[in-house]
Structure 1
Amino acid sequence: MMTDKEIIALYFKRSENAIEQTDVKYGKLCHSISINILNDTRDSEECVNDTYLTLWNKIPPKEPNPFKAYICRIIKNLSLKKYEFNHAKKRNSAYETSLDELAECVSDGTEASDSVEFEELRTAINTFLSELPEKKRILFLRRYWFLQPVKGIAKDYGITEKTASMRLARLREKLQQYLQEKELI
């Protein structure tokens, strides 16, 4: 398997092999992120293909570092846009559920833009995550960044769904306390 630098070099050479190598290395991850948001195979496939097109159009001149995070951000943003388009008046995905869970601890009931500046909140959450033990940080990110269902996370951790839900609830409580201490909510 090629390294990220080697794949990026292929984009700079305008080699179509860049997309193939990106798919080999990150295709499953992209599909996973997208399907967890959209719950639709066709829409997910479309978002993955749009991700590859976006990479093709942005590299060069960009030289993303880290490449994996750059790809994840693109697929997540494209999937969220597709989700919003498809569900303007509907509500029924893991995406909605995970955001509802998280909203309880980062909001005081007013709009985020009214209660705190977005950058302050982002910085505080990043700091909170960096202070967590690795396993807890990964658990949190899998649920609230990669939007993975609790059932799948529980299976991977070898625990029950109830245990996974409780751990996530405790992490949300800790985040809420942290943000209250920082006077951000």
Structure 2
Amino acid sequence: MGQFLEDEKIIELYWVRDQRAITCSQQKYGAYCHKIAQNVLHNESDCEECMNDTWFRAWNSMPTERPGILQAFLGAITRNLSLDRYRKNHSKKRGEGEISYIYEEMQDCISGENMELHVENMELAEMINRFLAGMKTENRRIFVRRYWYFDSIAEIAKRFSVSESKVKSSLMRSRESLRKCLAQEGIEV
């Protein structure tokens, strides 16, 4: 396996509209982005379509936006596209899959009717970032793996070499703390 091009050089390829930017992005971050899509969609065909859309969206976004961290930029694109695809696929079948469980877990913190609206709200994102910054490292990592990467409880337990019950307990305490934090900030819970 050869060396990957540095992120700054890949970004520069996007900016000068050199199509090698897409190839370099796929080589360096394809597996990372695919894992995000797979955790949301659990369908290889949908994942592949999401991956193609990720590179297309990155290509179209880059001339106006220079990302600070390319991996996070591509991961966020993949995550958002995957969630859009999931919603489209499950709009009539609500209640199936890991994403539905995650939304159910978070409904105690943010009302279900307003969840998508609140998540898009930048003010809420800033509050959540402050909340995450104040957490113990292990709890924050567990929280992010569950609610950003959509890892299953079992995957998180294995990743951090802890029991599933410890992961569930950590998530429950974190959600309760987040709910209280949001309530103090005036966010409807």
- 1:59 positional shift: 2.1
Contact 1:36–1:147, Cα closer than 8 Å, also in 2: yes
Moved more, 121-130 or 142-151: 121-130
Q: Which residue of 1 aligns with 2:47?
A: 44
- The CA deviation string for residues 38-94 of structure 1, in whole angstroms up to 9 with x for no partner, is 111110111011101111222223212222222122111111111111111113121
Query: Are positions 1:93 and 2:87 aligned together?
Result: no
Letter in 1 for 2:69: P
Asked whether the equivalents of residues 151 and 161 of structure 1 are also in contact (C-alpha less than 8 Å), the reply is: yes
Q: CA deviation at 1:16?
A: 2.5
User: In structure 2, do the counterparts of structure 1 residues 76 and 112 end up closer, same or farther at CA, with 3 Å as the change threshold?
Assistant: closer
SS at structure 2 position matched to 1:105: coil
Deviation, 1:12, is 2.2
User: How far did 1:168 drift?
Assistant: 0.9
Unaligned runs of 5+ in 1: none
Look up the match of 2:16.
13
Compute the TM-score of the two structures, normalised by the length of structure 1: 0.89
CA distance in 2, matches of 1:112, 1:88: 16
In the other structure, the counterpart of 1:72 is: 75
CA distance in 1, matches of 2:171, 2:128: 15
Aligned length: 184
Report the equivalent of 2:167: 164
Higher normalized contact order (CA 8 Å, seq sep 6+, divided by chain length) = 1
Separation (CA, whole Å) in 2 of partners of 1:82 and 1:28: 19
Partner of 1:25: 28
For the aligned residue pairs, the C-alpha RMSD in angstroms reads: 2.3
Instruction: Give aligned-pair identity as a percent.
Output: 36
